[in-house]
């Protein structure tokens, strides 16, 4: 789902940035990798040397959210570094991820609906923030020069939010093909597509556990008659309101499903700690106004909640490097009073 739209709407001036903030004890040697626009969903290659990310940065030529591949060392050394465009301004894009060969990237695009960026419409309709579920989103595989090698989904409806298993053999993604917003899996070549979740509500943003056996994801679960009515009415318009989400965990086939958090508000962008025993995620549950998103960590049994970030009012999209030594995340910090959200990388300290 277009998470950069959330970043764009949470445009609040952040506090000043520092590399020596003792309250962020798990993050050392924080390094900024992008310097303008809204940059998010930056995910490591399997060799840990590259990132694939999404950006709307006009100086890079983006007409709307587009996919790029970044050499981490070059971006860390040069604030003027321009990553290579993968999506080439064809449609609106989202949710990219490396394949295990480090030579191909998975991402969702509306390009089948035309080269122009589809309009988002009024995302504050009815006083609630909304995400558009463009039905022209499908999942593609590209090489590192932007050449499309394969289209993996063709079903009617929204297909996006895809990530790859640690062994490189499976993909989990979100789809509306069944009439609700559910998790699905498929083999890396697009075959063997299977539905994972089935409860009413939005299920998305899933990632595999380090051993590949479990999924962590965000979900809404409308319960009252009014919540269910509103959810279904929005879904009929290809929209969803992401203001109330909790984290859920299950086996890859959907069994042993359980709710991990019960914090209230929006808990999202989860990723497994390399140990497989903890989850890092973004949440505004402690905010009085709803806009203060910080990174937290929690045990997979729902205990041991710990705040990880404190700087600025937006921190999200955290991912550990394959060797577990680095954390990449997006943040409003150090944006000099602009509305920019940038990508940062840090050494991780357990």
pLDDT tens-digit profile of 48-66?
999 999 999 999 999 999 9
**Position 5 pLDDT exceeds 90:** no
Let me know if residue 180 belongs to a domain.
yes
What pLDDT was estimated at residue 97? 98
Let me know if residue 340 belongs to a domain.
no
Let me know if residue 201 belongs to a domain.
yes
318 and 272 in contact (C-beta within 8 Å)? no
Query: Is 310 exposed, middle or buried, given 0-12, 13-18 or 19+ CB atoms closer than 10 A?
Result: middle
Per-chain mean pLDDT for the chain: 93
Please compute the mean of the pLDDT values over residues 307-317 and round it to a whole number.
96
User: Which tokens in the block code for residue 240?
Assistant: 């969803």
**Position 8 pLDDT exceeds 60:** no
What pLDDT was estimated at residue 337? 86
Total domains in the chain come to: 1
> In the beta sheet, which residues pair with residue 50?
71
Please compute the mean of the pLDDT values over residues 202-213 and round it to a whole number.
98
**Position 211 pLDDT exceeds 90:** yes
Please compute the mean of the pLDDT values over residues 237-257 and round it to a whole number.
97
Provide the residue range defining the domain that includes 127. 43-323
Let me know if residue 344 belongs to a domain.
no
**Position 14 pLDDT exceeds 80:** no
Let me know if residue 258 belongs to a domain.
yes
Please compute the mean of the pLDDT values over residues 170-180 and round it to a whole number.
98
H or E segment at 9? helix 3-9
Please compute the mean of the pLDDT values over residues 307-332 and round it to a whole number.
97
CB burial string 90-118: b at 16+ within 10 A, e below: bbbbbbbbbbbeeebbbbbbbbeeeeebb
Let me know if residue 332 belongs to a domain.
no
Please compute the mean of the pLDDT values over residues 149-155 and round it to a whole number.
97
Query: What CATH number did the domain enclosing 116 receive?
Result: 2.120.10.30
Let me know if residue 291 belongs to a domain.
yes
pTM over 0.75: yes
Let me know if residue 307 belongs to a domain.
yes
**Position 12 pLDDT exceeds 60:** no
What pLDDT was estimated at residue 290? 64
User: Which tokens in the block code for residue 283?
Assistant: 């949440």
**Position 100 pLDDT exceeds 60:** yes
Please compute the mean of the pLDDT values over residues 135-160 and round it to a whole number.
97
Q: Higher model confidence: residue 15 or residue 263?
A: 263
What is the percentage of the chain residues whose pLDDT exceeds 90?
A: 88
């Amino acid at each position: 789902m277009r998470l950069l739209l959330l970043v764009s709407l949470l445009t609040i001036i952040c506090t000043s940035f520092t590399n020596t903030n003792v309250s962020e004890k798990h993050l050392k040697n924080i390094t900024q990798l992008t310097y303008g626009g809204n940059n998010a969903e930056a995910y490591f290659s399997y060799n840990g040397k590259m990132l694939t990310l999404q950006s709307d940065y006009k100086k890079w030529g983006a007409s709307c959210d587009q996919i790029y591949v970044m050499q981490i060392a070059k971006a860390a050394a040069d604030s003027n570094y321009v990553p290579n465009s993968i999506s080439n301004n064809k449609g609106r894009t989202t949710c990219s991820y490396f394949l295990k060969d480090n030579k191909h990237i998975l991402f969702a695009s509306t390009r089948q609906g035309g080269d122009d960026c589809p309009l988002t419409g009024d995302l504050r309709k009815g006083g609630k923030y909304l995400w558009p579920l463009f039905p022209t989103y499908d999942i593609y595989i590209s090489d590192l020069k932007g050449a499309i090698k394969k289209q993996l989904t063709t079903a009617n409806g929204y297909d996006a939010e895809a990530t790859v298993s640690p062994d490189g053999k499976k993909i989990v993604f979100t789809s509306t093909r069944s009439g609700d917003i559910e998790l699905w899996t498929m083999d890396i070549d697009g075959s063997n597509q299977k539905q994972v979740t089935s409860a009413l509500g939005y299920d998305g943003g899933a990632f595999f556990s380090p051993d590949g056996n479990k999924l962590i994801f965000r979900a809404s679960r409308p319960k009252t008659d009014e919540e269910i009515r509103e959810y279904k009415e929005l879904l009929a318009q290809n929209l969803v309101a992401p203001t109330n989400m909790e984290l859920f965990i299950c086996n890859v086939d959907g069994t042993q499903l359980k709710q991990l958090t019960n914090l209230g508000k929006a808990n999202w962008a989860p990723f497994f700690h390399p140990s497989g025993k903890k989850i890092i995620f973004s949440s505004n549950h402690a905010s009085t106004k709803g806009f203060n998103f910080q990174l937290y960590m929690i045990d997979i049994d729902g205990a041991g909640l710990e705040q990880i970030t404190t700087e600025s009012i937006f921190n999200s999209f955290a991912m550990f490097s394959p060797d577990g030594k680095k954390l990449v995340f997006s943040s409003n910090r150090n944006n000099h009073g602009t509305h920019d959200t940038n990508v940062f990388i840090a050494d991780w300290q357990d």
